[in-house]
Structure 1
């Protein structure tokens, strides 16, 4: 019995030692992996930091724009070479470019092989001159097809072939969707659009070459229907009424348009006959 018990105890001790050795070996392997991973990460970071650098302006690619040059992007983005791409913040760069250039959209890509910065742009174009009220008084600028405000510097950066002929008065940020809707129809109104005017309460007026002033009323969900009625009137309004030079058209109720005709001239009063009296 003592011999059997001794052998059983030795076997248990041997299994315990084997388990302990296996645990130690696993910990050694984990340590080796951690050291290798850390070394590889540090080496990779160092290589990227030193090698992932734009060292020449030609490594800055500008795509998609017909009116913005690489020099303008570098100037407005305040980009200086050498430019470590790891330290570049794409979101902030896109905001700077959107604020300083006539572009609707900016996308930034950092490419590794070879290191370069790729900037994709969608051009903005000034389609109308605009006026808005600011803290310093009235400010002149421009708007694009989406109704977004553009500064004079942004408009000059776009260098359009011809200056916009439409004038927007009373521009407000909250009215951009309605303005964009009108500007999208500016070439389909049957008469050249000359002016878009927003009153302080948001009420919308247009002025066209043929029909003069048109009151479209509030910028609500009936705006599209009012524009449809305006197109119909431009095409169907009889010539004899057009020749009367309408004072205004009220389309605030598109189901009952009202034409403001000039008042008829009053007949001249008969001259008063004065009789001279003898003194």
Structure 2
């Protein structure tokens, strides 16, 4: 009986030591967790308030992929005020804002911490035709006329003022479209593809009368009547 009692007492002592050791380990773990969380919170506060991680001027925003729009023009479209904490910048919100602007089809925004700044990759809408609601005098479109704009391949209308670089370099499209965009917008992608691949050079598409589509070509004016799915074959 004495032997059993002594063994039981020894086991109890060992278990108590193990429990005390386990409690100490848990206490240390809790302390380390608290220190880790506190350190992360402090680091976050420090990072947010760090003066060097701030965009102070538009030149800290790098623009890539632009051919028709100047970097300065794209920067002017950004929903940013300066100075701006880099960590408070929302790349997706900026990208959506740019894509809502007619000249920008797609935009990707990346933050850069060192040196602080933004890199914006854009895909522009390429203007393929000058759009007018009425025929211009002397056959020359007036860029200052608010009814004069530019069209991309999908028929998206854009104001001429969006492309000052093209006007300055006289690189505006040679194809002109006359008429209401509501008339031709649904058919424009197919019409443009047919015209751009035509062996006969087309200078102007007159859509003012939906019942009589007129093309001005290098061979003269061609009357097609109302637009139909047979347009490509007719051309």
Given that residues 125 and 155 in structure 1 are in contact (C-alpha distance below 8 angstroms), is that contact kept between their aligned partners in structure 2?
Answer: no
Alignment size in residue pairs: 217
2:153 aligned partner: 145
Change (3 A) 1:101 1:81: farther
Output the TM-score relative to the length of structure 1.
0.63
Change (3 A) 1:48 1:116: same
2:71 aligned partner: 70
Q: Distance in 2 between matches of 1:195 and 1:226?
A: 13
Change (3 A) 1:59 1:7: same
Instruction: Determine whether 1:87 maps to 2:88.
Output: yes
2:190 aligned partner: 181
2:35 aligned partner: 35
Q: Distance in 2 between matches of 1:36 and 1:173?
A: 65
How far the C-alpha of 1:186 sits from its partner, in A, is: 2.3
Given that residues 207 and 213 in structure 1 are in contact (C-alpha distance below 8 angstroms), is that contact kept between their aligned partners in structure 2?
Answer: yes
Change (3 A) 1:204 1:146: farther
How far the C-alpha of 1:217 sits from its partner, in A, is: 4.2
Given that residues 146 and 180 in structure 1 are in contact (C-alpha distance below 8 angstroms), is that contact kept between their aligned partners in structure 2?
Answer: yes
How far the C-alpha of 1:215 sits from its partner, in A, is: 4.2
How far the C-alpha of 1:49 sits from its partner, in A, is: 4.1
Gaps of 5+ in 1: 133-137, 232-279
Q: Which has the larger radius of gyration?
A: 1
Q: Distance in 1 between matches of 2:110 and 2:183?
A: 30
Q: Distance in 2 between matches of 1:49 and 1:175?
A: 50
2:202 aligned partner: 192
Given that residues 55 and 82 in structure 1 are in contact (C-alpha distance below 8 angstroms), is that contact kept between their aligned partners in structure 2?
Answer: yes
Output the TM-score relative to the length of structure 2.
0.72
Q: Distance in 2 between matches of 1:155 and 1:198?
A: 25
1:269 aligned partner: none
2:142 aligned partner: none
Superposed CA offset, 1:88-110 (max 9, x none): 12233233334446333222111
2:143 aligned partner: none
How far the C-alpha of 1:194 sits from its partner, in A, is: 1.6
Gaps of 5+ in 2: 134-145
How far the C-alpha of 1:15 sits from its partner, in A, is: 1.0
Given that residues 55 and 83 in structure 2 are in contact (C-alpha distance below 8 angstroms), is that contact kept between their aligned partners in structure 1?
Answer: yes
